């Protein structure tokens, strides 16, 4: 009997690499500070998961940031400003991302276990192909090499549109979508998976919402640590995630439960039995 789950589509930063989703945040902070309009880490994280140009658009559309831009430059940000900032963001992301390509603990073992089950593995990211080049090489050296990597710009619309998830499923020849699972640390990635018709698994502790690396997270007192993870879990649940886990090391039992529910005739978005 074949395994019921046909494919798993992973996000990258905060899900499989870069515990705490640090690289894109640091790149954005550096770029905005460099142009004279500093942003906060909290502001940088609000729209994390979107394609990076879309993220720049969202940041410059945020009223407080737009006001700071206007105060600094004497005019509101326009399309030319978006292009100028994004032109700085791309190389900054390339540099930051290749310094944050370490796999999250358990990622390689989870990937290997999925392959052993006959599950196809693909991925999607808000990074461009140029940003992903070094990450893919370093991830493969650590034991993670998904068959498909859909990047920002590979589809007409990015997250929360379902197109990147669908593109991954098409490339994997995996269908129907309700036999696939989307794993992501950002609510916008959960929205993508839900719109695509996939099961969705949110990743709370290693992701963007908590925003701390392993050492920083471990250094918190227990109440603070659990509170931050609970808040991230609540945000992913509110977006409609079928499951929320701390990190990918906890994914395999969820995959087996989804397979059981598929065998029982359940579809994504239904209450767990």
Active-site residue numbers?
11, 52
CA distance 232 to 169: 27
Residue 261 near residue 269, CB atoms below 8 Å? no
CA distance 117 to 113: 6
Report the side by side order of strands in the sheet with 199-203.
148-150, 120-124, 7-10, 180-184, 199-203, 243-245
CA distance 20 to 212: 4
CB atoms within 10 A of CB 225: 17
CB atoms within 10 A of CB 52: 24
Coil/strand/helix, residue 125: coil
Closest CA to 5 of 242, 236, 208: 242
CA distance 193 to 199: 7
Q: Write out the two tokens for 124.
A: 């999607």
Burial of 219 (0-12, 13-18, 19+ CB in 10 A): exposed
């Amino acid at each position: 009997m074949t395994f019921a789950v046909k494919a798993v589509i992973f996000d990258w930063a905060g899900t499989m690499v870069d515990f705490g989703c640090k690289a894109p945040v640091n790149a954005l902070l550096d770029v905005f500070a460099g142009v004279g309009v500093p942003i906060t880490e909290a502001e940088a994280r609000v729209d994390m998961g979107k394609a990076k140009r879309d993220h720049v658009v969202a940041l410059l559309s945020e009223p407080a940031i737009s006001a700071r831009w206007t105060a600094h430059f004497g005019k509101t940000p326009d399309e030319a400003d978006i292009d100028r900032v994004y032109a700085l963001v791309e190389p900054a992301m390339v540099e930051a991302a290749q310094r944050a390509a370490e796999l999250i603990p358990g990622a390689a073992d989870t990937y290997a276990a999925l392959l052993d089950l006959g599950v196809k593995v693909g991925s999607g990211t808000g990074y461009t192909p140029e940003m992903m080049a070094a990450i893919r090489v370093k991830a493969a050296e650590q034991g993670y090499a998904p068959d498909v990597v859909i990047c920002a710009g590979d589809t007409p619309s990015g997250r929360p549109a379902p197109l990147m998830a669908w593109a991954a499923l098409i490339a994997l020849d995996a269908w129907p979508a309700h036999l696939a699972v989307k794993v992501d640390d950002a609510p916008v990635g959960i929205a993508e998976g839900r719109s695509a018709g996939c099961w969705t698994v949110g990743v709370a502790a290693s992701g963007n919402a908590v925003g701390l690396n392993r050492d920083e997270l471990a250094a918190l007192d227990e109440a603070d640590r659990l509170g931050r993870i609970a808040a991230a879990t609540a945000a992913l649940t509110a977006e409609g995630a079928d499951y929320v886990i701390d990190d990918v090391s906890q994914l395999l039992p969820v995959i087996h439960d989804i397979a059981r529910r598929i065998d029982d005739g359940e579809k994504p978005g239904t209450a767990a039995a």
